[in-house]
Amino acid sequence: MMTWDCRRAKEKLSDYVDGLLEADERRQLETHCTACAGCCEALRQTRELVRAAGQLGRLNAPVDLWPSVRQRLLQPVPRRWWSWQPIWRPVIAAASAAGVIVAVVVATWLPSHQVPLGRQVSAPVLREYAQQRSAQAFAAGDAFVFAAEVETSDSSVR
């Protein structure tokens, strides 16, 4: 016996209400609906719909209904602009490809051509500079001199 999911149960609701399911499928659907509140509600709504449709009574179609339906079925379906002009397909494809190429070029070009906002000194350069200076350079107040030297330094190694 296979377990049912909600999709399969909802596909079979109409057949269940109409009494068209085999006994095994009917039991499986009933078992699923006892455990699933959503499918139980869908079954209730399907039963209500069938009941309401049964109360409509018999409707008589107009005498000229079938000829007008047949005439509309035989009319050709209007084609869309892109299907009757096959030239548009390659044009749209080429424009899309060009757009992608431009986006890739711009995305790779922009980061390498940005203007630096300020002078930047990398950590290895600062370490090398600090090693060259003696320990006395960091005595009281000399730290500000060191910071000013780094800011005004011409070496902007990154």
Which pLDDT belongs to residue 16?
A: 93
The reported pTM is: 0.39
For the chain, give the longest Cα–Cα distance: 111
Q: Does the residue 67 lie in any domain?
A: no
Compute φ and ψ for 65, nearest 5 degrees: -65, -50
The confidence band for 26, taking pLDDT boundaries of 50, 70 and 90, is very high
144 occurs within a structural domain: yes
Share of the chain above pLDDT 90, in %: 24
Is 97 within the bounds of a domain? no
> For 36, phi and psi rounded to 5 degrees?
-120, 110
Domain end among 14, 34, 54:
54
Domain assignment of residue 127, given as a range: 123-152
Q: What is the pLDDT of residues 75-103, one digit of tens each?
A: 887 766 655 566 667 777 888 899 888 88
In Å, how far are 2, 6, 16, 55, 65 from 42, measured between CA atoms?
A: 21, 10, 12, 20, 34
The reply to whether 105 falls in a domain is no
Residue 104 lies in a domain: no
What is the number of domains present in the chain? 2
34 and 40 Cβ atoms separated by less than 8 Å: yes
Give mean pLDDT, residues 12-39: 92
Residue that the structure tokens 């790779």 belong to: 108
pLDDT score recorded for residue 144 = 56
The answer to the question of residue 44 being in a domain is yes
pLDDT of residue 70: 87
Confidence of residue 104 (pLDDT cuts 50, 70, 90): confident
Work out the percent of the chain whose per-residue pLDDT is above 70.
Answer: 61
